[in-house]
Amino acid sequence: MQGMLKVGGNISGIRGIVRPGALLLLVSLFFMVRPVQSQNFTEVDKNTYELYMSGDWAALVQAGKSALKQDIDYYFLRMRIGVGYYEQKNYKSAQSHFKKALAFNAGDLVALEYLYYSYLFGGQAQQAALMYDKFSESMKEKLPDPGLKPVDGISVEYLNSSSNTDGLIADPATFEDLPTGYQIISSSYNNLNIGLSHFMHPGTSFKHAYTYLGKSNYYYSDDGINRIAIGDQKVRQHQYYLSPSFTTGGGLVISPSFHFVHVGFQIPYLTGGGIAYVDGTDNQMVGGLALAKFQGPFKIRLGAIYSNFNNADQVTGSAGLTWYPLGNLDVYLGASVNAHWEDLNKSGLSMIQDFIFGYGIASKVWIEISAAGGNMKNYTESNGYIVYNGLDWMRYKVLGTIMVPLTKKGSAIYAGLRYADYSSGMIPLDSSLSGEIINELNYNSTSFFGGLSWKF
């Protein structure tokens, strides 16, 4: 979601410099452009200036690009093309032309100002903050602060999920003729997530999150002597997530991550009076590294994750690309491919694909649709932020989210729906069968979620 700040009169002097005087025009001809015929240069300069003055931004951009193909390239032309893109809210394309203008005229305040706003409105607040930090005091007084604060924002999200497993559980044939072992089928769970973001200094930010998961499972076990079947095995999970992000002046974002997961669960056993429980615990962790960088209207993403869920080791590598066709954050389309490996999985690598589409309607409502498919057993997403460490596993999911902005700084409320398809398999007591899928059962779940994200 882009910021709501307006440039208005803050970007000053552009009209005064766009039409150079005779001396400046002479300087441009001799020092700022490649040798071209005087007539072509004069026509380009006159045409692009008139288009700028008339506010015909689309035609200005096309005329400027045509001039560049003729090897006509100079400071004022780049500024006009950049402004043409900027006024159409194509901040990603505008950035490259303002950078080129600065290559012709280093330190130019107008180009710096436009580039600053292009970063700010283009979703690159950290790069804007790095620029702002180097501005003179007089420049800082003229421009809005990028708004990065020691405590930048908080978020709260709640999710409720339930599965349609009644038919499986009621069928007496579901658990017949099986080896000794146990099997778990998720019945329902509630998930509460509280997040905090803050900044140390320009280019460095931190993301913290605490998550509580309360879950009920259908639990079946057979040790060769006794069979146990209960419909309400409890699982309680506490999680802490930390991810610092470091942004370079060139726009590369480096984000290591750490996620600690403490799982508490009931282990049922038979006594003379019926079923009793002993408490079991497991500590799991995730470590990862993500890299991201904008290249024009594209955001390139690379990442790697290690985890140790459920007495096994997992490694996931991912590569993704997000396209912003309008050059701003109002529309985006992304996809990634994830290679997931687990040391107990005899099938080797699992390839998981995910897709996302987002659309903003007049800055009033944002709609986002995402989907993922593949064997998501002991899997993580979003640089280790979201973990799927249950003993059953997801095979595909589809999510829809609606978000409504509340403030100009980016605060919003949102709600959504997730539909997912799951599989469950028996975990055998015979270690020689580990890694094989035994008694695979398929079912689906529906989840409702909503939350508040508040920016200070």
| 327 SS3 class | coil
* pLDDT attached to residue 111: 95
Each residue of 62-89: pLDDT tens digit? 999 999 999 999 999 999 999 999 999 9
CATH 3.20.20.140 fits 10-142, yes or no: no
Confidence of residue 166 (pLDDT cuts 50, 70, 90): confident
User: What whole-number percentage of the chain has pLDDT above 70?
Assistant: 90
* pLDDT attached to residue 15: 33
Q: Which CATH number fits domain 153-455: 2.40.160.60, 2.60.40.420, 3.40.50.1000, 3.40.50.10470?
A: 2.40.160.60
Mean pLDDT in residue range 94-103: 96
Q: What is the pTM assigned to this prediction?
A: 0.86
Q: How many of the other CB atoms lie within 10 Å of CB of 451? A: 20
* pLDDT attached to residue 152: 86
Query: Where along the chain do its domains lie?
Result: 10-142, 153-455
Q: Is the CB of residue 353 less than 8 Å from the CB of residue 381?
A: no
* pLDDT attached to residue 118: 96
Backbone CA torsion sign across 121, 124, 128, 133: positive
Q: Is the pLDDT confidence value at 22 over 80?
A: no
Q: Is the pLDDT confidence value at 258 over 50?
A: yes
Q: Is the CB of residue 90 less than 8 Å from the CB of residue 114?
A: no
> Is 315 buried (19+), middle (13-18) or exposed (0-12) by CB count in 10 A?
middle
Q: Which of 292, 208, 192, 205 is nearest to 250 (CA)?
A: 292
